[in-house]
Amino acid sequence: MKLSLGFSPCPNDTFIFDALIHHKIDTEGLTFEVEYHDVETLNHKAFNRELAITKLSYHAFAYAVEDYELLDAGSALGFGVGPLLITKRTELAEQLAAFAGKPLPEQFHQLKVGIPGKYTTANFLLGLAYPSLQNKEIMVFSDIESALLDERIDLGLIIHENRFTYQDKGLFKVVDLGDYWEKTTESPIPLGGIVIRRDMPEEIKNKVNKLIRKSVEYAFANPKSGLEYIRAHAQEMDEEVMYKHIDLYVNQYSVDLGPLGKKAIQSMFERAYALNIVPKTSKNIFLK
């Protein structure tokens, strides 16, 4: 049986899925037709029910939960892994840092912010910390640093490996939104998860979940096994940065969400419901 599978070309995703799609583990009769996209494109593909299995942002999952349920394996959660709000102007970084979670003076409301997508978890967290920053431009995440350097935007919301490179380019951190979330909730931050269509047979859902878990476990046991594959899809980066990225986003929650991971996700949904950021659902979020 062949199933469509979407994930990003970022090192954390290719690290997770390498063993699965290259049959380094027994896939028990399943094969996968892979599509590589940035996370916002994957979010929209989920809204359109285009893929059987896909990576998406937890923010976006709130809009796709009627059609998809969350697998226990493959997620990106953790401490110290959140998106960063950055700028080219050091004085602006200092001024805004003091207002995270507080009313922002009107003089800052029209600052233009480059974001990696409306439905990204990064944008959700930005809305929690700085609800007044509404002048947003959606960009591919890898273009945000250059837009700041060219002064096309005032602030940039960066994710993935860019958190390792922005300082080398002369850019400054305003706030670590993951750290902001952790301090206000005492929970790991849910960034992205792997979901499967609800109309798939239960047997297939459970098998896919088991296989992704095995793929992650294989990657942990053989961390260099997928090096060439991971490098082929990554942005320009050296091996050290690539594995820093993997270490940041692939952890015990990628093997299995467990009670703490599920609690963090449920807390994010409940907070978003309370603020009317996302629609409520009667569907169960998690794989049965």
pLDDT in tens, 67-109: 999 999 999 998 877 899 999 999 999 999 999 989 999 999 9
**Considering the domain 84-185, what is its CATH architecture?**
3-Layer(aba) Sandwich (3.40)
The list of the chain residues with pLDDT below 50 reads none
Taking the C-alpha atoms of residue 85 and residue 179, their distance in angstroms, rounded to an integer, is 11
> Quick one: which of 113, 120, 115, 114 has its CA closest to 44?
120
User: Helix (H) and strand (E) counts for the chain?
Assistant: 12, 11
Report pLDDT for 146: 95
Helix (H), strand (E) at residue 216? helix 202-221
Contact 33, 3 (CB under 8 A): yes
Please, what sign has the CA dihedral across residues 283, 193, 47, 52? negative
- Tell me whether residue 122 is annotated as binding: yes
- Please give the backbone phi and psi of residue 210, each rounded to the nearest 5 degrees, phi first: -65, -40
Q: Which residues pair with 197 in a beta bridge?
A: 68
Mapped onto helix, strand or coil, the DSSP state of residue 129 is helix
- Tell me whether residue 121 is annotated as binding: yes
Report pLDDT for 137: 96
Q: What CATH code is assigned to 2-78+189-274? A: 3.40.190.10
Report pLDDT for 48: 97
Taking the C-alpha atoms of residue 260 and residue 91, their distance in angstroms, rounded to an integer, is 38
Taking the C-alpha atoms of residue 125 and residue 56, their distance in angstroms, rounded to an integer, is 16
CA distances from 130 to 7, 85, 137 (A): 29, 10, 15
Q: Which residues of the chain form CATH 3.40.190.10?
A: 2-78+189-274, 84-185
Taking the C-alpha atoms of residue 179 and residue 84, their distance in angstroms, rounded to an integer, is 9
Which residue out of 22, 59, 160, 245 is catalytically annotated? 160
Neighbours of 30 (CB within 10 A): 15
Report pLDDT for 236: 62
- Tell me whether residue 57 is annotated as binding: yes
Taking the C-alpha atoms of residue 276 and residue 264, their distance in angstroms, rounded to an integer, is 18
Can 160 be counted among the known catalytic residues? yes
Contact 193, 173 (CB under 8 A): no
- Tell me whether residue 263 is annotated as binding: no
Pairing of β 113-115 and β 84-87 = unpaired
Residues in CB range of 211: below 8 A, 6 or more apart: 20, 25, 27, 28, 30
